[in-house]
Structure 1
Amino acid sequence: MSCVLLKAYDVLHGQKARTAISFEDVAAVVNEYLLAANSTPVRGPVLRKSDTPSGGTDFSQIPHGPRLVPRDALLDILHTHADTGRCHIKTNKKMKSYIQEDSGSLTLLFEDGSDFTADVLIGADGWCGKGRHVTSNTVRDDIQMTAYDNVFDADGVAPPFDGPWVAEVPSSQIAERFAGWEPDLVDLLQVPTAASRWAVHVVHPLPTFATDRVCLIGDAAHAMTPHQGLGGGQGVEDAYILARLLGRPEMTASDVPQALKIYDTVRRPASQTVSRQSLVNGLTYGFFGVEAKALSLPEIGEELVESCRWLLQDRGAEKEWLKAKSALAAALERCKDDPASPNLLPGTGHREATVCHHG
């Protein structure tokens, strides 16, 4: 079974998706990296009100924080453990359309005139908040500062953005937006000689992540605001569930639509919940919105701490996989017993029009 993943104009395809990358090998290396880089518990951020020139006030602290793997380190780990005999990366490829053949396979058409045939197509292309806030975190030996500005029109709706998504700007331009804030903060914002300005784009909740043999994962499915720092992690969980479904020994190309529906049933509600909470947190950080305006500083701190508590749940992705695994086993068993009947996905309460095929 061949699988194609589209990501940022690169094409990754494997002849056998289930053997292209070993989850056990990658997990072991990531765990070693985390142990070496984070040998002590990671505390969460201190919450400080700084929007007055007379000085700031620390009002809460989120007691737990994430253990971080820099993006380039994660890419190196994945690339090192990819089976180069089965997994191939083609760069600078932009797909313009695809055709689903009568057999069910997909023909992908690229702008350079080339084409490729696959059993599964996975879209993963990414998107590069009156309330403002600033965060800081360490990345290896550096300190990264991020200044957020939520821009809305008079109706509380984000206006269309027609400028470049990413642009280099003088740091003074960033500092100017925080004029009148705590002097120490404004001084820190002026330290860099240049800064990158990023437009934050989101994907509004989609009714589905999958249709037949095509699905979306990561930012293509649920690009979200960065206020919980979980967008990338949600994409990894998407990939974890989807790859384990497609990598089952009993999986065939004709079973792919069923697997993608189960992936959608498990991952869409979870990722969209994280997306909604991320936006709420971002508005709260900027003391923006009715809820934040009605709360005292300690109450705002309690709300933000509570919004992150679920991150302490143990083996959350593994629990999602067990749900997906059980749903797949039940669906394939029903297909085996009655291949011509429409399938009822566990927990969905509705019948799918797709006819089961197996073998």
Structure 2
Amino acid sequence: MPGKFSVAIVGAGLSGLMLAIALRKFAPDVDFEIYESATQLSEVGAGLSLQERPWSIMQALGLESVLKAIAGGGEKQSISLSYRKSDQAEGISIDDIKLMETSFTFHRAALQKILIEQVQSTHTIHLRKRLASYAQSKDGPIELRFQDGTTATCDLLLAADGVRSAVRASMYSQLADAASTSGKADEAAELRTYVEPVFSGTIIYRTIIRLDDLPEEAKAQPVFHKQGMTLYCGKNKHLVTYPIYQGQSKVLNVAAPVTIAGQEGTIHPGPHTASVSKEELAQYYAGWEPDVQELMKHVDGALKWVVNVVKPLPTFVHGNVALLGDAAHAMTPHQGAGAGQCFEDAFLLAKFLARPEVTKDTLSVTLKVYDEIRRPFSQKVAALSRMSGKTAHFDTPEFADLTEEQSASGTTLSLEQLRENVAKLKELGDWRLNSQVGEDLSDALRKLDAALGAS
């Protein structure tokens, strides 16, 4: 029996996979197809941490037990954070904080593998389907046009195709064309600036250190036995480490963000990812404290990731088309919140589409409510993440005159100044502790019901 309407999910990354799982559970009367541009599904990435908000979504989807099985020892009832000033010969312990917040750490590839298996148990993911554009008419279905010359149709197009979203490019090109036709040249020019992502000004080097493979003399080093998250901070760069499990093996996840001065908001020419030598990574941390030098000694190369972001969009929706995940709000990773925000988009959309009152005729109204709720929230998180990076890098107005050389001297900043900076970092992340997905969902459903009643 046909569903009440048809959905096309473009993109089979974390957002698209989570959306498919959520639709299957909450909206079984909705037909959906998944289209992915890659020739094969592969699991990539390093460490990923889920706190209470995204974890509550996993519980609602019935994924708790299967994900706990791959978390290994990664389940924590509290989060220990250790902050250090490290861009100097002798590091300074600034503060140690314990947040009473449940956290699960995973190897990203292991999490993605589980989600792929969940989806493929009931649905086919159509591979080699790179979207070129789409067209929607007033009364007919949306037509998807793929680069291989094939087409497909749907009643609702949900774009989970990442930071370089083809759907976002098509959406904002169409909005710009409409503005231009109406004689609004300035508005059209502004709309076209949302087609491509922009460079955040940060490059992150990601790697892992396999603790079982360390030389015996290194295994005794305390830096490899820290159980929580450690932030080694310095001017224009920092380093984050925390343990994760890869199968039964414990590894140390290492993320090293570096600010490229004056580049934020530009278009990066690429390439946007590349494998690099340990020497390229280590050069940025020359002269840093001994613990950091010990880490650099035992990394085995790294993945260089140019962090591109999506500028705050004026809308996530147009007609019966909606953006979610990185296609809508790709952000910096300084709060570890990007994946969680993707999951929240998918969860809310699935819950909305499951409502009996949501039909083919009310899809556009439903998407407007999704936009009103998820756009300001996710964009606020993106802004907080950006500020967290700047704070960790001493790149806020109060440190505008601080040079890397002055910071490396270890005498320019007092311990009081450093602790004030850490307090700001903590405050920037307090939103996770002061809100719950369940309460937000209840409010969202009330707004949806009101909008549908008025339509």
**Is 100-109 or 88-97 further displaced after alignment?**
100-109
Residue 319, structure 1, aligned to residue 421, structure 2: no
1:47 corresponding residue in structure 2? 83
Match of 1:33 among 67, 81, 104: 67
With over 3 angstroms needed to count, the CA separation of the structure-2 counterparts of 1:83 and 1:147, relative to structure 1, is closer
Do the aligned residues in 1 keep the contact of 2:369 with 2:451 (CA within 8 Å)?
A: no
2:214 corresponding residue in structure 1? none
Residue 329, structure 1, aligned to residue 440, structure 2: no
Q: Secondary structure at the match of 1:267?
A: helix
| In 2: Cα distance, 1:262 partner to 1:158 partner | 29
Residue 183, structure 1, aligned to residue 217, structure 2: no
| In 1: Cα distance, 2:120 partner to 2:446 partner | 28
1:357 corresponding residue in structure 2? none
Correspondence 1:141-290 to 2 at 5 A: 141-153=250-262, 157=264, 159-290=266-397
1:137 corresponding residue in structure 2? 242
Residue 105, structure 1, aligned to residue 141, structure 2: yes
Residue 59, structure 1, aligned to residue 94, structure 2: yes
Match of 1:302 among 423, 437, 443: 423
With over 3 angstroms needed to count, the CA separation of the structure-2 counterparts of 1:318 and 1:291, relative to structure 1, is farther
Shift of 1:223: 0.5
With over 3 angstroms needed to count, the CA separation of the structure-2 counterparts of 1:31 and 1:234, relative to structure 1, is farther
**Is 189-198 or 226-235 further displaced after alignment?**
189-198
Shift of 1:278: 0.5
Shift of 1:80: 4.2
Which amino acid is the alignment partner of residue 29 of structure 1? L
* Unmatched segments (≥5 aa) in structure 1: 336-359
1:120 corresponding residue in structure 2? 156
Which amino acid is the alignment partner of residue 64 of structure 2? V
With over 3 angstroms needed to count, the CA separation of the structure-2 counterparts of 1:193 and 1:75, relative to structure 1, is closer
With over 3 angstroms needed to count, the CA separation of the structure-2 counterparts of 1:102 and 1:264, relative to structure 1, is closer
| In 1: Cα distance, 2:371 partner to 2:398 partner | 32
TM-score, normalised with respect to structure 2: 0.66
1:72-114 CA distances to partner (integer Å, 9 max, x unpaired)? 34334434444855x4311221010111134242010101111
1:345 corresponding residue in structure 2? none
Q: Secondary structure at the match of 1:67?
A: strand
1:303-358 CA distances to partner (integer Å, 9 max, x unpaired)? 112222221235x22222112211121122223xxxxxxxxxxxxxxxxxxxxxxx
Which amino acid is the alignment partner of residue 94 of structure 2? F
Q: Secondary structure at the match of 2:93?
A: strand
Do the aligned residues in 2 keep the contact of 1:166 with 1:196 (CA within 8 Å)?
A: yes
Which amino acid is the alignment partner of residue 253 of structure 2? Q
Do the aligned residues in 2 keep the contact of 1:210 with 1:261 (CA within 8 Å)?
A: yes
Which amino acid is the alignment partner of residue 28 of structure 1? G
Which amino acid is the alignment partner of residue 134 of structure 1? L
Shift of 1:8: 6.0
| In 2: Cα distance, 1:206 partner to 1:30 partner | 33
Do the aligned residues in 2 keep the contact of 1:47 with 1:59 (CA within 8 Å)?
A: yes
Shift of 1:40: 4.3
Which amino acid is the alignment partner of residue 318 of structure 1? G
With over 3 angstroms needed to count, the CA separation of the structure-2 counterparts of 1:34 and 1:291, relative to structure 1, is farther
With over 3 angstroms needed to count, the CA separation of the structure-2 counterparts of 1:5 and 1:228, relative to structure 1, is same
Do the aligned residues in 1 keep the contact of 2:159 with 2:323 (CA within 8 Å)?
A: yes
| In 1: Cα distance, 2:283 partner to 2:419 partner | 29
Do the aligned residues in 1 keep the contact of 2:391 with 2:424 (CA within 8 Å)?
A: no
Aligned length: 328
Question: Identity over the aligned pairs, expressed in percent?
Answer: 33
Which amino acid is the alignment partner of residue 426 of structure 2? V
| In 2: Cα distance, 1:168 partner to 1:73 partner | 20
Which amino acid is the alignment partner of residue 228 of structure 1? Q
Do the aligned residues in 2 keep the contact of 1:172 with 1:190 (CA within 8 Å)?
A: no
| In 2: Cα distance, 1:39 partner to 1:107 partner | 44
* Unmatched segments (≥5 aa) in structure 2: 33-56, 165-201, 203-234, 401-412
With over 3 angstroms needed to count, the CA separation of the structure-2 counterparts of 1:119 and 1:223, relative to structure 1, is same
Q: Secondary structure at the match of 1:263?
A: helix
With over 3 angstroms needed to count, the CA separation of the structure-2 counterparts of 1:91 and 1:139, relative to structure 1, is farther
1:230-280 CA distances to partner (integer Å, 9 max, x unpaired)? 001000001111111112122211111111111111111110111001011
Do the aligned residues in 2 keep the contact of 1:44 with 1:62 (CA within 8 Å)?
A: yes
| In 2: Cα distance, 1:73 partner to 1:180 partner | 35
Shift of 1:7: 1.4
2:108 corresponding residue in structure 1? 71
Cα RMSD of the aligned pairs, angstroms, is 2.9
With over 3 angstroms needed to count, the CA separation of the structure-2 counterparts of 1:319 and 1:131, relative to structure 1, is same
Q: Secondary structure at the match of 2:372?
A: helix
**Is 283-292 or 270-279 further displaced after alignment?**
283-292
With over 3 angstroms needed to count, the CA separation of the structure-2 counterparts of 1:143 and 1:162, relative to structure 1, is same
| In 2: Cα distance, 1:162 partner to 1:309 partner | 35
Shift of 1:189: 1.6
Which amino acid is the alignment partner of residue 381 of structure 2? V
With over 3 angstroms needed to count, the CA separation of the structure-2 counterparts of 1:61 and 1:159, relative to structure 1, is farther
Q: Secondary structure at the match of 2:260?
A: coil
| In 2: Cα distance, 1:83 partner to 1:182 partner | 47
